[in-house]
Structure 1
Amino acid sequence: MSGGGWGKSGWTPEPEYASDREDILSEFYLRVLSEAVAYDRITGFFASSALVLYWEALPEFVDRGGRIRILCSPRIAEKDAQGIEHGYEARDDDSLGAVLRAEFAALLATDQLRKPALALAAMISERFLDIRLARVADASLDDRRMFHDKVGLFTDADGQRIGFRGSLNETRFGIASDGNVESFDAWTSWTGRTDSIRVQRSTERFEKLWAGKSDGVEILALPAPFRHWLETQAEGVDWRELAAEITAGREPALVVRTAPDGRPLREQQIAGLDEWERHGKRGILAHATGSGKTVTGITAIVGHEGPALVIAPSRLVARQWKEQIEDTGRRVHLCGDGESAWKTRLHNWLTQPASKRVVVALAPTAAQRPFVNQASRAKDLLLVGDEVHRLGAASYQKILAIDAAARLGLSATPERAGDPEGTLAILDYFGGVIHRYTLRDALKADALCNYLYYPQLVRLSPQEQDQWDELSKKIGRLVAQSHNSPGGASNSQRERIRTLTMQRARIAKKAAGKTPLARLVVTKNYKPGQRWLVYCDDKDQMQDIADSLRVAGIDAYEYFSDMPGDKAATLRHFDENGGVIVSIKCLDEGVDIPNADHALILASSRNPREFIQRRGRVLRKVEGKSLATVYDAILQPEALGEASGVSLLQGELARAGNFARDALNSDARDPLERLVVELGGDLQALYEFLGSGEEADN
């Protein structure tokens, strides 16, 4: 080992680097790689997009006999956790190889990422790049702990070493000048005893980990079947040529078309973010349930230079945002759900220079005047409204007084049913809907599961029918009076009509016949291992149905917002073991249960948002799930002669027609046709009614 200095240049790195102060790519990475012969890296996450940034240094690095060894956590979705478990037990097991292959195939299938992915495959094939996976040895599927250390070591031809430790992952967002705000300490083998000891200890630790000899950490080499598959992908590929092409083009699209964890964004996410940028970072993305709205929002946050504020609709959703944003390396402060530090610190969180901090707030908290006042003082603030339709409610419109420079709204259905004033407030604040991606678009793109739809007819009881008819008459009289009034309906008349309409709707939602229908549908069709969601109107109905199913020997769980016990544990048990969840509205927004494959909708609704979200819960795609099934309780009136009967049927057919239009089974409309014929209705009118309305999430 020679004297002090790096390689032939004799350069010594600074003791600390921070991306808000230095360009760490050019001032550190490229400079060190230009004379290195080895690069060993321990990182929480790794993505080929990181290699793109220092392509220009790699050809000479390889010519010098250079080798890169990367030790990282497997960036695998929770749905694949079982496959990972088996993969660690059998090192070459096909399950882990299949998961990794699917991840890599997604890169190859994306135009912007195909070249770097092929180059990565060629590098692994040529054996100068090696990757091993690490995880906490006793991490269960429940706690989902991960190997998250972050250390790097470079070696030059003389055996000198430069080490670094800090916050950055080996991803584009960790290294690029327009990525995260990151910092790290650097130390060398020649600048003093303390630094030399750090280098030596880090080197020894890396070698121990790489060899799989570290207690508490399990190491897995890339499975042989997966490596062989990579080699077939790399046949005929010259990674140097690809590197030259990428470096020459340095496609800016590549920078914005990967999520913060390095995965490729989907087409609708790219298009939505492009439109948002084109509209001056303002607008609403009306993207269907299951289209990746949260990832889209986080990508916007990470790419934004200033602070960000996320408004979440519920405690569970707020914590999901917090956890996923923290995975990008950013610090997140939660407001609401018992977290009250914001009352004295929110202004500092959002205004500290170069902090790039993120605040996630529950909507009721964000609507408080002190919160609005503090948030309004932040410069270059990005406000992200999740389930943005909620912000049109009168109690939440105060949030729209926050003068954010950038604004992004996310919702499958941003328009508020029956509330034009609230809808207008949302559209005015965020800048309108700038991109739509409907459920039909998602089905055509194979982004969601196809589904079967089975309407289930149920009658009101005689008493319920009488109540429905009586309320319909009262509503009709009030409407007629308002039409005859010179100035139209008065405020009191409108409020009275609204109250009576809600009372009538409650009769349909709570119809007594729905409980025996639920028991019949579930007991007849449920099979062990399936995952069913049963949507009820209120706790009483939920309790009745859950009790009825348990009496029938069905494993049923109740799930509601203020339920006792651990809601997350209930969902995990359901996800792992199957069963039936009987729930009310708290499953409508944000709860992620992609393995659910059956839905029974009992809480009839005319609000497109509600029935679209409920259908969307079971259409999310996961490995091994190719088809979902939706059962829907359709209330049938006694006759069509009365206006009340027409009103009831139209409301039910509006929802059923929307579901049937996109269902895989062509017989989905058959029960609706039989019902109209039985009631003496006009089938042609039915077809015109079902076909005339645009898709509800359009």
Structure 2
Amino acid sequence: MARTPTLTFDRGTLILHPPPRGRAWMDFATWDDRVEKFRIPAIQYRALVEAMQAQEINFIDEAKAFYPIELVPSLEMEPYPHQSEALAAWKLAGRQGVVVLPTAAGKTYLAQMAMQATPRTTLIVVPTLDLMHQWYAHLKAAFPDAEVGLLGGGSRDRTPVLVATYDSAAIHAESLGNLYALLIFDECHHLPTDFSRVIAEYAIAPYRLGLSATPERTDGKHADLNFLIGREVYRKRAEDLAGKALAEHEVVQIKVKLSQNEREKYTQLIQVRNDFLKQSKISLGSLQGWQTFVQMSARSQAGRRAMLAHREAKEIALGTDGKIRVLADILTEHYPERVLIFTADNATVYHISQNFLVPAITHQTPVKERHEILTKFREGEFKTLVASHVLNEGVDVPAASVAIILSGTGSTREYIQRLGRVLRKGKDNKKQAILYEVVAEDTSEEGTSARRRGVEKKNEPPRRQEHEEKREKKGNLQVIYGSGKEKSLKAAEQLEINYKVQKKPPINTDES
């Protein structure tokens, strides 16, 4: 009598032996001479099981070690419409996919809703230790009776609900792969790296949720999220949620002119750089062009001079005295509101801190000191805080009403994260938030800002030109967008669906 085929999990892969009848499984399997059995990537688990079930192939599933759990919430809130829409869209996609929401739009609570709708063992993956502890605190408050553990920062728990850093989850991917039915990737743009992607590839989890404000990556690897997690199922922008889930807000760009001495020096330095780029036939309009410039700058005296000129010109644009004067005006205008100031480098952070006598946070700030500063900022003892990149992601920053980007990069992700720091409504339903972006006029910084916002100076598409014409210009102030206009975005279809992965009662992916 023929043996029943058995599906087992083996260090991030699946083994199916003996080979079953039918052809449903053959598209997934590769013969492994080392064990003389067919091996299948773990990430194909759900597709394989559904294919064999569809052809009524009888098999024994010993691969899965995930199981149903009881999640009784003690922390429940009335979800915002966009949270309900996002959850419905994710369900409609078979509980696989990426949800894109701006910072402060309630992605953590959306994840809690997904967990309640999919009560199975769950792994939550986050980029930093700070975020790991924030998630842990939220989940313990939300599900006090559930076993919630940590993987990372010295903790190595194996609990039904586990919060792990990307680094730790990747290191232990082979042993975690069959333990969890639901994977939640916070800041999922971190997943498609060569090191982290194994978390998804070595896992059999049939249900996957990716969360990010800005999933797009400069290397184009965000396309891999379609395979690692699922396609994008829902997206909202900050301006779509203004006055609803997020505070009413506007983004204002202030252009600062360089002084005559700064302008002369800047022009001279840029000419040195551009002469070298032209001679070397290098264009800085792409990542590859910049990499070529870096490589060429190390091979000759002219290259080194060009790179030094580039850096010095950038320092002039980022740290012009005019920006400091504008900063003083903004702080005076908004006193005593809580204000966050962002810069691109630590030197400018410390310069502002010393000149305006405000606390500073950089990557050099000890954890305890950072915690104390943020606590005093939250309680209102400190009204202003200046920081570099350290507050962009993975830190629970107290609500502020004003953010000032004094210098930054062309990163859309960084820009959206900084905007999100002032968008939390808190208890103030009438809060009006504002983000100032201070850029040096007629410098590379202005071009970088335009590229980040998707604004082209020449040959703009008609729709973008129309958008540009609608902008309100006031001298050197440019209102990028405000909250005065009604925004409409087609809502995700609201449809209740039963908890299953196929029409037939599942024998593999739902019940242990």
TM-score (norm 2): 0.65
Q: d(CA) in 2 for partners of 1:662 and 1:445?
A: 23
User: Which residue does 2:362 correspond to in 1?
Assistant: 560
Indicate whether 1:324 and 2:324 are aligned. no
1:448 matched to 2:244? The reply is: no
Q: Does 1:536 align with 2:332?
A: no
Counting aligned pairs with the same residue, the percent is 23
- Identify which range, 283-292 or 305-314, moves more after superposition: 305-314
- Which of the residues 291, 295, 299 maps onto 1:495? 291
Q: Structure 1 counterpart of 2:174, which letter?
A: N
Match of 2:178 in 1: 377
Q: In the aligned structure 1, how far is the partner of 2:109 from the partner of 2:467?
A: 26
Amino acid at match of 2:138: Q
In the other structure, the counterpart of 2:211 is: 410
Once the two structures are TM-superposed, the CA of residue 656 in structure 1 deviates from its matched residue by 6.4
Whole-Å Cα distance in 1 between the matches of residues 310 and 124 of structure 2?
Answer: 34
The aligned amino acid for 1:524 is D
The answer as to 2:199 corresponding to 1:389 is: no
Secondary structure of the structure 1 residue equivalent to 2:242: helix
Residue 667 of structure 1: CA displacement? 4.1
Deviation at 1:537, TM superposition (A): 1.3
Displacement after TM superposition at 1:472 (Å): 4.1
* 2:225 aligned residue (391, 409, 426): 426
Q: Distance in 1 between matches of 2:422 and 2:341?
A: 11
Inter-partner Cα distance in structure 2 for 1:401 and 1:180: 27
Q: Which residue among 365, 379, 388 is the counterpart of 2:168? A: 365
> Out of 179, 182, 201, which is 1:401 matched to?
201
Using a 3 Å threshold, how does the CA distance of structure 1 residues 505 and 410 change in structure 2: closer, same or farther?
A: farther
* Corresponding pairs, count: 384
Please give the per-residue CA displacement for 1:552-611, whole angstroms capped at 9, x wherever unaligned: xxxx11113441233222112001124211111121124333531111102332121111
Structure 1 residue runs of 5 or longer lacking an equivalent are: 1-177, 183-258, 350-356, 484-488, 551-555, 638-644, 674-685, 687-694
The 1-side partners of 2:95 and 2:310 are apart by 40
* Greater relative contact order structure (CA < 8 Å, 6+ sep): 2
- Is 1:338 aligned to 2:134, yes or no? no
Shift of 1:373: 0.7
Deviations 1:269-315 (A, max 9, x none): 11111111111111000111221001101221233232111111222
Q: Quick check: 1:653 aligned with 2:469? A: no
* 1-structure distance, mates of 2:154, 2:176: 19
Contact 1:472 1:504 in 2 (8 A): no
Alpha carbons of 1:366 and 1:179: their partners in 2 closer, same or farther (altered >3 Å)?
Answer: closer
For the residues of structure 1 that align with 2:339 and 2:291, how far apart are their CA atoms?
Answer: 38
- Note the C-alpha offset of 1:511: 3.3
Tell me the secondary structure at the aligned position of residue 264 of structure 1. coil
Does the Cα contact within 8 Å between 2:131 and 2:395 map onto a contact in 1?
yes
Paired residue for 1:436, among 227, 231, 235? 235
CA deviation digits over 1:122-142, x for unaligned, max 9?
xxxxxxxxxxxxxxxxxxxxx
2:410–2:452 Cα contact (<8 Å) kept: yes
Contact 1:458–1:633 at 8 Å: present in 2 too? no
Matches within 5 A, 1:65-214: 180-181=70-71
1:547 Cα deviation after fit:
1.2
Contact map agreement 2:338 2:383 (CA 8 A) in 1: yes
Structure-1 separation of matches of 2:233 and 2:360? 38
Q: Offset of 1:512 from its aligned partner?
A: 6.2
CA distance in structure 1 between the aligned counterparts of 2:197 and 2:276, rounded to whole angstroms: 33
- Report the Cα offset of residue 478 of structure 1: 5.2
- Once the two structures are TM-superposed, the CA of residue 652 in structure 1 deviates from its matched residue by 2.7
CA offsets 1:435-492 (integer angstroms, 9 cap, x no match): 0111121126463322351413243654444444443444455556999xxxxx9x99
Q: Secondary structure, in 3 states, of the residue corresponding to 1:407?
A: strand
Which of 427, 437, 449 is residue 632 of structure 1 equivalent to?
437
Equivalent residue for 1:263? 77
Q: 1:271 to 1:493 in 2, by over 3 A?
A: closer
Note if 1:524 corresponds to 2:329. Answer: yes
How big is the alpha-carbon RMSD for the aligned residues of Structure 1 and Structure 2?
3.8
Q: How does 1:220-231 map to 2 (within 5 A)?
A: none
Distance in 1 between residues matched to 2:446 and 2:317, nearest whole Å: 18
The one-letter code matched in structure 2 to 1:393 is T
CA–CA separation in structure 2 for the residues paired with 1:385 and 1:508 = 39
Alignment of 1:234-245 (within 5 A): none
Q: CA deviation at 1:651?
A: 2.3
Q: Does 1:282 align with 2:282?
A: no
Describe the superposition over 1:8-57 as per-residue Cα deviations: whole angstroms up to 9, x where unpaired: xxxxxxxxxxxxxxxxxxxxxxxxxxxxxxxxxxxxxxxxxxxxxxxxxx
Q: 1:474 to 1:538 in 2, by over 3 A?
A: same
Alpha-carbon separation, structure 1, partners of 2:318 and 2:282:
32
**Residues 1:648 and 1:576: Cα distance change in structure 2 (over 3 Å):** closer
